[in-house]
Amino acid sequence: MSSIFADDSDFIQLDFFSELPEQPQMSENIEILQVINGELLLQTGGGEKKLSAGDFVLINANTVYELRGGAAIYARLSLAANRIYNLLGKSSVRFQCGPENREEPAYLRLEALLWRIYEAALRKDQSGSIQIISQYYQLIEL
């Protein structure tokens, strides 16, 4: 695991991984998982999804999931669910987004935004940090 950017408020965190977790995962946060290289199999209570390079999926808060597969590099962008709920004025929200939505305009905008976030995070300079914060709010809006 390599943590690239973590806001002081723990509102958002971006990590890149080259190894799969050994056990099923459950996050209190909303997570976007994107395969950078290789393939993964994502298993949730709703079934299995094959994720290829470039594919991403949104995992709702308090969802148990398991990742399986061979050699892969993937990104995990975690958004603090309680902060999102507060911004939306809701006590909970269920999102749905995955490779099955790849032809929809919102999916394509989100995909482009994710790549801009990764590029800015890897620059690790002040300009990149400011761009990341701006892009995170764009992400929430989407």
Q: What is the model's pLDDT at position 73?
A: 93
Structure tokens at 133: 């914060």
Residue 49 has pLDDT above 70, yes or no: yes
Q: Give the pLDDT score at 76.
A: 94
pLDDT for residue 98 is more than 80: no
Q: Which pTM was predicted?
A: 0.82
Q: How far apart are the first and last CA of the chain?
A: 27
Which pLDDT band, with edges at 50, 70 and 90, does 126 fall under?
Answer: low
